[in-house]
Chain A
Amino acid sequence: DSGVTQTPKHLITATGQRVTLRCSPRSGDLSVYWYQQSLDQGLQFLIQYYNGEERAKGNILERFSAQQFPDLHSELNLSSLELGDSALYFCASSAQGQEWTEAFFGQGTRLTVV
Chain B
Amino acid sequence: GENVEQHPSTLSVQEGDSAVIKCTYSDSASNYFPWYKQELGKRPQLIIDIRSNVGEKKDQRIAVTLNKTAKHFSLHITETQPEDSAVYFCAAILYGQNFVFGPGTRLSVLP
Let me know if B69 is at the binding interface, CB within 8 A: no
Contact check, B93 vs A100: say whether CB atoms are below 8 A apart: yes
Query: 10 A–B contact pairs at CB < 8 A?
Result: A33-B98, A42-B102, A42-B103, A48-B99, A55-B96, A92-B44, A99-B51, A99-B95, A103-B34, A105-B45
The 3 closest A-B pairs by CB, nearest first: A100-B32, A56-B98, A105-B43
Which of these, B43, B98, B102, contacts A90 with CB under 8 Å? B43
User: Residues on B close to A: CB < 8 A?
Assistant: 1, 31-32, 34, 42-46, 49, 51, 89, 93, 95-104
Which of these, A2, A45, A107, contacts B100 with CB under 8 Å? A45
Chain A positions within 8 Å of B51 at CB level: 99-100
Which of these, A55, A99, A102, A105, contacts B98 with CB under 8 Å? A55
A100-B31, A100-B32 known; A108 vs B101 contact (CB < 8 Å): no
15 A-B pairs besides A48-B98, A107-B43 with CB distance below 8 A are A42-B89, A42-B104, A43-B44, A43-B89, A48-B99, A56-B97, A58-B100, A90-B43, A92-B99, A99-B32, A99-B95, A102-B34, A105-B44, A105-B45, A106-B43
A: contact size bracket: 20 to 34
A42-B103, A92-B99 known; A102 vs B49 contact (CB < 8 Å): yes
Chain B positions within 8 Å of A105 at CB level: 43-45
Chain B positions within 8 Å of A2 at CB level: 43, 45
Chain A positions within 8 Å of B45 at CB level: 2, 105
Q: Quick one: which of B42, B96, B98 has the most chain A CB within 10 A?
A: B98
A71 CB → nearest B CB, Å: 22
Chain B positions within 8 Å of A43 at CB level: 44, 89, 101, 104
